[in-house]
Amino acid sequence: MGIVYLPIIFAVAYLLVRFGDYFAHLFQARGGTWKASTLKAVLITAALAFVCFGTIPLLIEVDNRKGWLTGHETVQFAVKWTGYTSIWWAVMIGLRARARSSA
């Protein structure tokens, strides 16, 4: 029954990414101290984390009869991949800032 929520999870993640730029510029226009690219990266990471935390338990629920992962392992998996995604975005933002400063 949980698979029914899968399209909703992906829709919310898509909206976070799609409107991330708009939200970032709106936040910056209201006097926010973060750069727009940083806030956009945070929103994209939040969308990916939302997908991880939303879909993995649903997939486990379907495949639970085979004993694929326990609940504790599911949380570890989601946290690990959210962390990897955050590190990746931090490196990409750093490389972009470095390229801009050297140009």
Please report, for residues 28, 45, 46, the alpha-carbon distance to residue 33 in angstroms, rounded to integers and kept in the order given: 7, 19, 19
User: Highest mean pLDDT range out of 3-7, 24-28, 32-36?
Assistant: 24-28
Rounded to two decimals, the pTM is 0.40
Query: Is the pLDDT at 19 greater than 70, yes or no?
Result: yes
Total domains, the chain: 1
pLDDT for the residue 49: 72
Band (pLDDT 50/70/90 cuts) for residue 12 is: confident
pLDDT of residue 56: 64
Domain that includes residue 64, residue range: 2-102
**Which residues, including other chains, have CB under 8 Å from residue 53's CB and lie 6 or more apart?**
78, 82
Say which DSSP state 40 is in: H
Q: No. of H helices and E strands in the chain?
A: 4, 0
Average pLDDT, the chain: 67
- Angle, in degrees to the nearest 10, between helices 36-63 and 71-102: 160
